[in-house]
Chains A and B, each alone.
Chain A
Amino acid sequence: MAEIIKTNRRDFLKLAATATGGLFIGFYWSGCDSPKMQVLSNEEILAKATDFNSFLSITLDGDVVIYSPNPELGQNIKTSFPMVVAEELDADWSRVRVLQAPLDTDKFERQLTGGSGAMPHSWERLRKAGATARHLLLTAAATRLEVDKNSLTTEKGVIYHKSSGKKLNYGEVVLDAAQLEAPDEVIFKDPKDFKIIGTPIKNVDNQEMFTGKPLFGLDFYREGMLHAMVQRPPFGMKIKSVDDTEARNVSGIQEVFVYDNNVALVGSSTWPIMKAKKLLKISYEPDGNVESTADHDRIFKELLDSKEARVMREDGNVDVAFKNASKVITSEYQCPFLSHSPMEPMNFFAHVKEDQVELIGPTQTPDSARVQTANLLGIPKENISVEITRLGGGFGRRLRADYVLEAVQISKKMEAPVKVTWSREDDMTGGAYRPAVRYRFSAALDEEGNMIGYKLRGVGMNAGNSVRQDNFPSGAVENVLIENVNYESSVTTNAWRAPITNFLAYAEQSFLDEVALEVQKDPVKFRLDLLQKAKNSPVGSVNYDVDRMIGVIKDVAEKSNWGKNSNVKQGFSVYFSHRSYVAQVANIEMENNQPVLKKIIASTDCGIVVNPTGANHQVRGGIVDGMGHAMFGNLTFENGLPKQKNFDSYRLIRMKEVPEVELHYVDSGYDPTGLGEPALPPTGGAIANAIFAATGRRLRSQPFVEQKEYSDMNLEIRRG
């Protein structure tokens, strides 16, 4: 059904038309403090053009330009956002050009990439912008043709009056449209009439990406710019002394200096700096805990038993439940630190001038980078401009602005424009990892095999809250106790794609598998029974939509022929995170007595699929990512330093290691939710459960390839 939607007229700033410019519609994504519509001169338009959260413009020729405000790191937002605007505008996609919007000052509500939140946040706003523009164009056309507005239709940027056969291109009426007031309400299309949404529109940057155009932060060069690299200390250490004699002798090195426990090297190009950096002789001394992986393992065990823990959720009485249980199952699961390792290492350009700063580079949080720069320099943030380049991956690492501030500090000291580049070794040893975590799960079972009690304690290394207390199976079990213990490690951590759930889901879904098999229930049926309970008699708050979770479980069970082929050993997993539901089944077949992972089948409910190609990318990419890190990812420490420093020792998944991946979507009709993260969490569990089904070996820690249960197994991965 088409929907009538109230607009907040203050959300829109429509700029007057000019002979050259056409119609500009600026739209704010927050409802507050927006100026009224104004009529502006040509110069004012140009000055104002970047003053919105975003805007679209239509030229007199009917070309459409849509600004995409969010950083693009591979989640395809630069393509999918404009698709939504163009849909409601009824534009001709072949005449739409997409530009990356710069960071705007105060009016931004959400110009960041993280938490898979962009699409749910902006869905309605984007539709309103397109529908408002279309409304204005139609109104102008009705006046021009002297017909009733309701007798007009639009298609691909053209307005038709069917009975008279007259038609007008959008460009022909933009000047008139620009004189009109923004409407109080607009009509949204019925989703079944969508022509652009739901079609596989190609990535708008393809041509530039595939011909090597400078798109990424590291590709940014400017005449007179200096290059810099930084040697950072091991965790828990501080600089005692620096001998930079040899480093300074490398030709091309301009300056070596110490700041904030770092040594900065500055030169005219990258290679001499890389060489000089290796010649630095720095001695460090302890400045806090200097930790090794052995320490972390010991601390995990201690804190799992410690008396002190923060209770995150408590339903019923677990003590009684566990006392009355006819059987208790307890298991522990552990995951290591991980590096984000986007293919493009950290880098940023800064030019600190008298009281102005120019920042250019790859960041997931441009506004935070600016605010932190303002605080560091003690200048107003309005004096700082941020240009967002395309990001060569992020995975959460570029939510931090540490590498931006380095560029700022070095530029300030050198009084010159500077680009700071991290080598791969810097990127891997320079901190802000996915935290290592250990979990202990316990289930209390009654005589019929019902789970009457459920306990979970998470211990994390700088993980903040390492549990998600309200996630399934909370709500489906009478007596629940969920606790968290955080250890303040000197190793720095940061959000990593699907924070916490990227390993919690594997541990939880493996444990539930253990419980199901213990009570001799089919793992899928076991979950469905629990969900039925959460639906019929929920215990405490339930933060997931039971029906949507059941929807993906049933879908994946059907599509994977769950349990129907005894030659295929299957592992099941389901998880709700970042507003989307994803269930997965991994298929393993035994060949010559060895397990061969052949396929992963996924069923996703992310509401309306905006761009099927983009959605497939995110779900498949999340599965490959989840699998790669579950299988291989491991960052270990010795005396405050990661032992793995580059891809020779830190193993990333490769071409030959990915099984076939089959994707399905449950059409629930809900507004779209993000997909950058939700497909990753279930994968580790599905694979581990399949390995158990095939070999009887339960993998209780990651990475799989480095544990005892795996050592004499040869899991092959082969596509069909």
Chain B
Amino acid sequence: MANYNLRVNGKKYEVDVEEDTPLLWVLRDHLGLVGTKYSCGIAQCGACTVHINGEATFSCVLPVSSIGDDKVTTIEGLSEDGDHPVQKAWNEIDVAQCGYCQAGQIMNAASFLNKNPKPSFDEIDEAMNRNICRCGTYHKIREAVALAAKTK
């Protein structure tokens, strides 16, 4: 076990965990931030997507020891009141079915739109292809990303 100081959503946290503990489980089991989801644990589905210095990252395969001073943002910290343009677009388009994958989808979309504010539909498809939605909400996700790009 070792102590780690983390910066998550602008707050400082200290945790005492094994160095190989994935950030995902630190967030969920130790910091009470359960918005970041577990689904595959092997970097295949994107349910666990967080931002590391703004970059969409699979937290399920990111050992806590590798984070250092990097800035972690989770769905809970994406915006103050759930009013990030991507969150608003997700509501407007009413994207979710079960909703389980959607935090990861939103985090991926938000980071993608930061880098590519005016994406084509093909670019949206390419970027969002790393997140699985078992309920098949892909059409709505695509629409919502396009809407967020427009309203940003």
Q: Which 8 A-B pairs have the closest CB atoms?
A: A212-B35, A624-B136, A392-B100, A74-B98, A74-B97, A212-B75, A209-B99, A647-B44
Q: Are B39 and A345 in contact (CB-based, < 8 A)?
A: yes
A320-358 vs B, CB cutoff 8 Å, 1 = contact: the mask equals 000000000000000000000111110000000000000
B86 closest partner in A (C-beta): A210
Q: Most B CB atoms within 10 A — which of A345, A391, A647?
A: A647
Q: Are A206 and B91 in contact (CB-based, < 8 A)?
A: yes
Q: Are B82 and A210 in contact (CB-based, < 8 A)?
A: yes
B72-100 vs A, CB cutoff 8 Å, 1 = contact: the mask equals 00111011001000010011001011111
Contact of A200 among B47, B75, B94, B131 (CB under 8 A): B94
Complex Cα–Cα for A490 and B61 (A): 34
A395 closest partner in B (C-beta): B134
A216 closest partner in B (C-beta): B100
Q: Are A342 and B134 in contact (CB-based, < 8 A)?
A: yes
Say if the beta carbon of A203 comes within 8 Å of chain B. yes
Given contacts A205-B99, A206-B91, contact A212 B34 (CB under 8 A): yes
Q: Are A207 and B91 in contact (CB-based, < 8 A)?
A: yes
Complex Cα–Cα for A127 and B140 (A): 31
Residues of B near A624 (CB, < 8 A) are 136, 138-139
Residues of A near B102 (CB, < 8 A) are 209-210
Q: Are A655 and B38 in contact (CB-based, < 8 A)?
A: no
Residues of A near B132 (CB, < 8 A) are 343, 647, 652, 654
Residues of B near A271 (CB, < 8 A) are 17-18, 20-22, 25, 29
Say if the beta carbon of A653 comes within 8 Å of chain B. yes
Interface residues of B (CB under 8 A from A): 1, 17-18, 20-22, 25, 28-30, 32-42, 44-45, 47, 74-76, 78-79, 82, 87, 90-91, 94, 96-103, 106, 121, 125-126, 128-129, 131-142
10 other contacts beyond A424-B39, A625-B135, with CB at 8 A cut-off?
A209-B99, A212-B35, A270-B29, A271-B20, A343-B39, A343-B45, A393-B134, A393-B135, A424-B41, A652-B134
Say if the beta carbon of A370 comes within 8 Å of chain B. no
Contact of B40 among A252, A617, A646 (CB under 8 A): A646
A269 closest partner in B (C-beta): B29
Say if the beta carbon of A700 comes within 8 Å of chain B. no
Complex Cα–Cα for A278 and B29 (A): 20
Residues of A near B141 (CB, < 8 A) are 655
Complex Cα–Cα for A212 and B133 (A): 16
Question: Can you list 8 A-B pairs with a CB-CB distance of less than 8 A?
Answer: A74-B135, A206-B91, A212-B34, A270-B28, A424-B41, A621-B97, A625-B136, A652-B132
| B141 smallest CB distance to A (angstroms) | 7
Q: Are B131 and A655 in contact (CB-based, < 8 A)?
A: yes
Contact of B74 among A212, A221, A269, A274 (CB under 8 A): A212
Contact of A390 among B98, B103, B133 (CB under 8 A): B98
B75 closest partner in A (C-beta): A212
Say if the beta carbon of A620 comes within 8 Å of chain B. yes
Within 8 A of B (CB), among A627-641: 628
Contact of A392 among B17, B18, B94, B98 (CB under 8 A): B98
| B50 smallest CB distance to A (angstroms) | 10
B43 closest partner in A (C-beta): A648
Contact of A212 among B33, B38, B139 (CB under 8 A): B33
Contact of B37 among A200, A344, A617 (CB under 8 A): A344
Contact of A343 among B47, B87, B91 (CB under 8 A): B47
Q: Are B82 and A211 in contact (CB-based, < 8 A)?
A: yes
| B105 smallest CB distance to A (angstroms) | 10
Say if the beta carbon of A215 comes within 8 Å of chain B. yes
Residues of A near B101 (CB, < 8 A) are 343
| B112 smallest CB distance to A (angstroms) | 12
Complex Cα–Cα for A395 and B135 (A): 9
Residues of B near A393 (CB, < 8 A) are 97-98, 100, 134-135
Q: Are B40 and A74 in contact (CB-based, < 8 A)?
A: no
Q: Most B CB atoms within 10 A — which of A214, A424, A648?
A: A424
Within 8 A of B (CB), among A278-316: none
Within 8 A of B (CB), among A196-230: 200, 202-203, 205-207, 209-216, 218-219, 221, 227
Q: Are A219 and B34 in contact (CB-based, < 8 A)?
A: yes
Complex Cα–Cα for A75 and B75 (A): 24
Contact of A344 among B98, B136, B142 (CB under 8 A): B98
Complex Cα–Cα for A622 and B97 (A): 11
Say if the beta carbon of A714 comes within 8 Å of chain B. no
Q: Are B34 and A656 in contact (CB-based, < 8 A)?
A: no
Residues of A near B79 (CB, < 8 A) are 211
B98 closest partner in A (C-beta): A74
A663-697 vs B, CB cutoff 8 Å, 1 = contact: the mask equals 00000000000000000000000000000000000
Say if the beta carbon of A76 comes within 8 Å of chain B. yes
Residues of B near A658 (CB, < 8 A) are 136, 138-139
Q: Are A221 and B34 in contact (CB-based, < 8 A)?
A: yes
Given contacts A211-B35, A221-B32, A271-B18, contact A655 B142 (CB under 8 A): yes
Say if the beta carbon of A272 comes within 8 Å of chain B. yes
Q: Are B100 and A620 in contact (CB-based, < 8 A)?
A: no
Complex Cα–Cα for A222 and B102 (A): 24
Residues of B near A617 (CB, < 8 A) are 97, 135, 137, 140
A390-431 vs B, CB cutoff 8 Å, 1 = contact: the mask equals 111111000000000000000000000000010110000000
Residues of A near B34 (CB, < 8 A) are 212, 214, 218-219, 221
Say if the beta carbon of A719 comes within 8 Å of chain B. yes
| A38 smallest CB distance to B (angstroms) | 39
Q: Are B100 and A344 in contact (CB-based, < 8 A)?
A: yes
Complex Cα–Cα for A496 and B5 (A): 45
Q: Most B CB atoms within 10 A — which of A210, A227, A342, A390?
A: A210
Residues of B near A653 (CB, < 8 A) are 136
Complex Cα–Cα for A310 and B137 (A): 40
Complex Cα–Cα for A270 and B21 (A): 10
Complex Cα–Cα for A269 and B30 (A): 8
Q: Are B45 and A655 in contact (CB-based, < 8 A)?
A: no
| B52 smallest CB distance to A (angstroms) | 17
Residues of B near A202 (CB, < 8 A) are 91, 94
Say if the beta carbon of A154 comes within 8 Å of chain B. no
| A250 smallest CB distance to B (angstroms) | 9
Complex Cα–Cα for A655 and B105 (A): 11
| B131 smallest CB distance to A (angstroms) | 7
| A216 smallest CB distance to B (angstroms) | 6
Q: Are B134 and A209 in contact (CB-based, < 8 A)?
A: no
Residues of B near A442 (CB, < 8 A) are none
Complex Cα–Cα for A621 and B135 (A): 6
Complex Cα–Cα for A394 and B134 (A): 10
Contact of B129 among A621, A628, A654 (CB under 8 A): A654
Q: Are B137 and A621 in contact (CB-based, < 8 A)?
A: yes
A238-252 vs B, CB cutoff 8 Å, 1 = contact: the mask equals 000000000000011
